[in-house]
Structure 1
């Protein structure tokens, strides 16, 4: 199987990343956030979070700043300096998405209030200088394209959108005609080339779009005429849904997460199943199964070198899998309750 032959085997699992600054962060129902150093495989710190469930985590690429999204708040921590947040953002309702632009120049958030916000630091304060509202339809996922000027956004209304943040336009991507009642994309992922987009739905369906280069024509948007209200457009040219007649589904249950490998060859998908699945990103064929043994796997992330997959779920453990043979090579204990969110710094999409 090509999946198993992609690199030579080794008998020494750690380090899980050769960069000394590589971190994996996990949050749990036990009201703690743990920092794991991938070079050593050790927990190097714990941040208390006594405000309830953490829904989303994001690290800047340097690993210096950590954004934590939870109920009505986003807190930003300096990872190296201590426990107290360096900034707090108050928001209505649940915050479901947080993330940083690749260079850390701005941050985006989304939540159950149906608003996607872009934040920048001005006069030592975080200011939301761009907003896009989806009329109360909760935001389930946001991911920037590789150009860092387009944001892909999914909502619980069953739509996926492209937001051109430079020209302040948003357009709707095509969705399957047989979308089920109350089915929506729970997590989006962008291919490292920026030419493909994938998403996993709450019904366990894996979708993929082919994306094409787009030039915004000058007459299509008048920034001075309408500086606040975006122009909504359907697009059949920028993104087309691949293989509408084929069904790429997890075996049963609720899809929660999907992510590309750093080389873009594979997609890992997890959800409310004991297994985590790996797919070929070109053919969408299932190529590997990771038998985690826990009922809910809230996330699955490739290491920055693509050698390992990290999974976290309701058995309170972070598990590490060798992608060559789909075998578990290590597990990290420390959380007292199920893991609800994970993130890494670096190039992992």
Structure 2
């Protein structure tokens, strides 16, 4: 396989990883994965490695290699691996699982450096974009959003958007200032993540409620994700659709003659992306935030033009439900 600037990968329940020529909608490489279904995937920022989360193993593949065998297997989880993400320097990998733990892996050593015990099934995670903070954000089956310190291996703060309603997916904005969580009732909760460090008090990390809205009318949210430029938020859902949002702030007239107006945050629906025939499970933005790929139980992947909200290509070939996608088309 010749190196290409666009790496697009899809997988799901047919035990096959497929890599695509995104411009021609043709499959360029197919890798069998017979151990289990595939739950989630991630591409390293240098495009060389693909992390595949199954049950219970995580496997790393050489994107530009020819072997069907992984270059590294990460064993340690005891149940379905539900989330996987590389650090920006692709030296470390974070995973979470139905075994109620989060694991922090050293890629070069091929070993687990940290095990965080969450106490309940972990549905998703996100790594804070500022590596100096050493923070991982998780969400779980009991409805909690937690911020973890990797160094201290402890919970720094948590939020419970709605008691006993599972939070399915979590995302952190590219600037690290917002945390978004989507739950089983179709609701989205946005928090301000504040990090205050001082010699006197040490580091104080807080999740401050910012805005919440009903995104999918009671249908389960399967994925929330920010675009690379932070302007867009996509939500995927069991209602067979995805929605593209813009989070914004507007200044309301000041009450009682005060000179300072009141800032009101809001979420504007940019596009209701209706194309798939079954659940939409996952999505991935292009590096310029101009395009979006979605995957569905209808066995199709769709490439969307964000400016128009229309499908410009589709990718067919899988024999069962598609539940995960990874895309890296960065040029620098």
Same fold (TM over 0.5): yes
The alignment partner of 1:208 has SS state of strand
Gap change, CA 1:344 and 1:252, over 3 Å in 2: same
Q: Does 1:145 align with 2:128?
A: yes
Deviations 1:236-287 (A, max 9, x none): x6220113xx533312411001111222111110110122111112221222
Q: CA RMSD in A?
A: 2.1
**How far apart are the structure 1 equivalents of 2:325 and 2:196?**
33
Check conservation: 2:171, 2:224, Cα contact below 8 A: yes
Gap change, CA 1:335 and 1:153, over 3 Å in 2: same
Partner of 2:48: 64
Partner of 2:156: 171
Check conservation: 1:23, 1:35, Cα contact below 8 A: yes
Partner of 1:265: 231
Deviations 1:44-80 (A, max 9, x none): 2111111221111111111111111111211111122
Deviation at 1:195, TM superposition (A): 0.9
Q: Does 1:194 align with 2:176?
A: yes
Check conservation: 2:168, 2:181, Cα contact below 8 A: yes
2:83 corresponds to which of 81, 97, 100? 97
Deviations 1:134-154 (A, max 9, x none): 12x011111111112211111
Deviation at 1:220, TM superposition (A): 5.7
Q: Which has the higher contact order (CA 8 A, sep 6+)?
A: 1
2:144 corresponds to which of 151, 155, 159? 159
**How far apart are the structure 2 equivalents of 1:129 and 1:105?**
12
**How far apart are the structure 2 equivalents of 1:329 and 1:219?**
53
Check conservation: 1:98, 1:110, Cα contact below 8 A: yes
Deviation at 1:290, TM superposition (A): 0.8
Deviations 1:71-95 (A, max 9, x none): 1211111122121111112231111
- Number of positions where the alignment pairs a residue of Structure 1 with one of Structure 2: 307
Partner of 1:330: 313
TM-score by structure 2 length?
A: 0.86
Runs of 4+ in 1 over 4 A off after TM superposition: 216-221
Structure richer in strand, relative to its length? 2
The alignment partner of 1:253 has SS state of coil
Deviation at 1:35, TM superposition (A): 1.0
**How far apart are the structure 2 equivalents of 1:212 and 1:204?**
26
Deviation at 1:33, TM superposition (A): 0.6
Structure 2 residue runs without a partner (length 5+): 249-265
Check conservation: 1:173, 1:240, Cα contact below 8 A: no
1:255 corresponds to which of 221, 229, 250? 221
Check conservation: 1:273, 1:294, Cα contact below 8 A: no
**How far apart are the structure 2 equivalents of 1:183 and 1:62?**
37
**How far apart are the structure 1 equivalents of 2:94 and 2:43?**
12
Partner of 2:303: 320
Check conservation: 1:153, 1:160, Cα contact below 8 A: yes
Q: Does 1:204 align with 2:186?
A: yes
Partner of 2:72: 87
Partner of 1:286: 269
**How far apart are the structure 2 equivalents of 1:345 and 1:139?**
26
